[in-house]
Amino acid sequence: MRYLDTSIPVCVFIGEPAEKFETCKSIMDSINSGGEQARTNAFTVAEIYHILSREHTQPGEITGDISRFLDCAGLRVSDISAEMSIPALKLSTERGIDFVDAHHVLTMREHGIKEIYSLDPHFDKFSWIKRLEKIP
């Protein structure tokens, strides 16, 4: 199982960055079909909503997009843990990453996941995490 960062589904929903669209779509197609197993947490859903609403997507479209995302056969969404808030704040400050990315890192550690699908180079700051931009 791999972790799924927000950047992959957002690329598919908004088509940016255009040069990564086909690769991100193949990742999401594989997760959707259940061929690829991925975990994320509820912050990803919040980030997707926030980004799509900034892109002036209509509320009904956002609901449909997020519903299809959550229905992916190979996707598991973890709850957000309040107990991780202080450690995430500390990790965010220590590594110069945002709070949500820090929470993703802690969720990965909690589930023993060492690979992440992401376009975000912040995850490269962790030697134990292998960032993937395509299906290996």
First to last CA, the chain: 13
Q: With 80 as the cut, is the pLDDT of residue 129 above it?
A: yes
Amino acid letter, residue 32: N
Residue 9 and residue 50 in contact, taking contact as beta carbons nearer than 8 Å: no
CATH number of 2-132: 3.40.50.1010
Q: What is the pLDDT of residue 55?
A: 82
Identify which of 58, 49, 28, 55 has the alpha carbon closest to the alpha carbon of residue 133.
28
Reading the block at residue 82, the tokens are: 């309040």
Q: With 90 as the cut, is the pLDDT of residue 22 above it?
A: yes
DSSP 81: P
pLDDT in tens, 58-96: 878 899 999 999 999 999 999 998 899 999 999 999 999
3-class secondary structure, 131: strand
Average pLDDT, the chain: 95
Q: What is the pLDDT of residue 60?
A: 83
Q: Between β-strands 75-78 and 38-41, what pairing exists: parallel, antiparallel or unpaired? A: parallel
Q: What is the pLDDT of residue 84?
A: 92
- Phi, psi dihedrals of residue 33, rounded to the nearest 5°: -80, -15
Listing DSSP states for 24-43 in one string gives HHHHHHHHHHTSS-EEEEHH
Write down the domain spans for the chain.
2-132
Number of Cβ within 10 Å of residue 104's Cβ equals 30
Q: What is the pLDDT of residue 75?
A: 98
pLDDT in tens, 2-15: 999 999 999 999 99
Rg over CA atoms, the chain: 14
